[in-house]
Amino acid sequence: MSSRLAVVIPVYNHAHYVERAIRSVLDQTRTVDRLVVIDDGSPDNSVEVIRAMNDPRIELHTQENQNAFNTINRAIKMAAEDCDFIAILNSDDFYHLDRFEKLLPILEADESKSVICSAVQVIDEHSENLAEDHNRMKWFNAVWSVADDPGIAMTEWMGMANWPATTSNVLGRASYMAANPFKPYHFNHDYYFLTGAAWRDEILLHHEKLVYYRVHAHNTITSAPAPLMRELLRQHLDLLKDLRGELLADFEMRRRMKLYFRAAYDSLSSLHMGLMMMVFSELLQEKSHDDILAIVNGMGEDDLDELQVFPNRHHVNAYTSEGPLGKNTQLPEKVDELRAKLDQLLAQKAAGDDYRALLTAVLRSKWVSLARVFGGCRDLVCDKGKGPQEKLGNLRAAIDASAWVKLGRVIGAAKFDA
């Protein structure tokens, strides 16, 4: 069965642009299964423009103004009911017509990832390429100059700037998007979502420019720095709060977070790390020095592997007598990162081998085959999970939970081990 794909379009006050956006979905070379359009109380004639298209493939809904994040979340919830993948398109942007033909197979093939983005074509209000001397174009050129640097990890690049730039660049698994709703921000709901995905190592990149991002006088991004800077501070504090449990449980996720914040100190966005430290200082005013001591001492070696190794070992190993230390301190750290990835790949391979061997034993079992004749033991032959380790764990759990297998073991008919 082929995957079902939905596109959701939140519309607000874009009567001049929304028909082009919708047409770029309807004319895709890879057919879209659902197109959910929600007008968020537009004061202009956006709704009339959409209705005049008179296309039964458009699922149009209207509501009183609830802001972009609520509108997107509502549309995702609707689309996730019967679709496997969801893409977002802002009503002033539009797609390259083969976007999904190129992106969807890549995401379908890599079950370890949940989101894919492409390069971005920046255009003006007339749908012409944005002038190279425009401030926003200069920003894009600076940010995307990093794309081909093999020494920069995805999470570092995201720390430098929100390189996908727009919710219109998000194509994701419906399950992931429904489980990670957009937050109540004015500017940064996409950056929060994408940063969480980067920390989890869930993002893929395709280098072709397959989405047209429109820069015009009414973009939500503001020319005044303070509102955006405040929201970026809030966004990152929210991330640390919301993802604390995952970070505590996952060393690799913490490593990616560290790389992210190191890159963020030289951010090409508007995150000011000095002000971030001032916010931490403000939050700590309600804590006594004894409270701080208790928090620090509560970080145990058994829970946090980082406490078992001196972090400055990279600096020591990088130094030679040929000159000053410089920036080559990151090289040994990169070696450690590659070793960690190799260990992860070896663990995945071992889990894959174990999964295939166990599944083969289940499929060859006459006892299980007997149950399947009558519609039983279906959980034992379903390919559930995103990767080999998760699939192996799910299969073992299904075997342990199966009353039929337990009976077979009692009478000696089920001779495979989980």
φ and ψ of 225, to 5 deg: -75, -35
- 319 Cα distance to chain centroid: 37
- With a CB cutoff of 8 Å and minimum separation 6, the contacts of 291 are none
Q: Can you tell me the distance from the alpha carbon of 163 to that of 123, in angstroms, rounded to the nearest whole number?
A: 16
In the 8-state DSSP scheme, what is residue 163? T
Quick: pLDDT tens for 383-392. Answer: 788 788 888 8
Spell out the domains of the chain, with CATH numbers in brackets: 5-221 (3.90.550.10), 333-410 (no CATH)
Sign of CA dihedral 338, 339, 342, 348: negative
Quick: pLDDT tens for 203-214. Answer: 999 999 999 999
Q: Can you tell me the distance from the alpha carbon of 47 to that of 53, in angstroms, rounded to the nearest whole number?
A: 10
Class of residue 90 by CB neighbours under 10 A (exposed 0-12, middle 13-18, buried 19+): buried
Where is average pLDDT lowest: 192-201, 251-260, 271-280, 312-321? 312-321
Q: Can you tell me the distance from the alpha carbon of 34 to that of 191, in angstroms, rounded to the nearest whole number?
A: 25
Tokens in use for 347? Answer: 């663990």
> What DSSP line would sit under 101-132, residue for residue?
HHHHHHHHH-TT--EEEEEEEEE-TTSSBPPT
3-state secondary structure at position 172: strand
3-state secondary structure at position 208: strand
Identify the residue whose tokens are 């500017």. Answer: 187
pLDDT-above-90 percentage for the chain: 63
Where is average pLDDT lowest: 19-23, 25-29, 38-42, 315-319? 315-319
Number of Cβ within 10 Å of residue 106's Cβ equals 14
Ramachandran category for residue 67: left, alpha or beta (phi over 0 → left; psi -120 to 50 → alpha): left
Q: Can you tell me the distance from the alpha carbon of 270 to that of 260, in angstroms, rounded to the nearest whole number?
A: 15
pLDDT of residue 224: 80
Identify the residue whose tokens are 């090409």. Answer: 268
How high does pLDDT run on average in the chain? 90
Residues pairing with 40 in the sheet: 63
Q: Can you tell me the distance from the alpha carbon of 247 to that of 244, in angstroms, rounded to the nearest whole number?
A: 5
Quick: pLDDT tens for 357-405. Answer: 888 988 888 998 898 888 888 888 777 887 888 888 888 988 988 899 8
Ramachandran category for residue 123: left, alpha or beta (phi over 0 → left; psi -120 to 50 → alpha): beta
Measure the CA dihedral 300/305/309/310, to 10°.
-70
Written as one letter, the residue type at 198 is A
Q: pLDDT at residue 321 above 60?
A: no
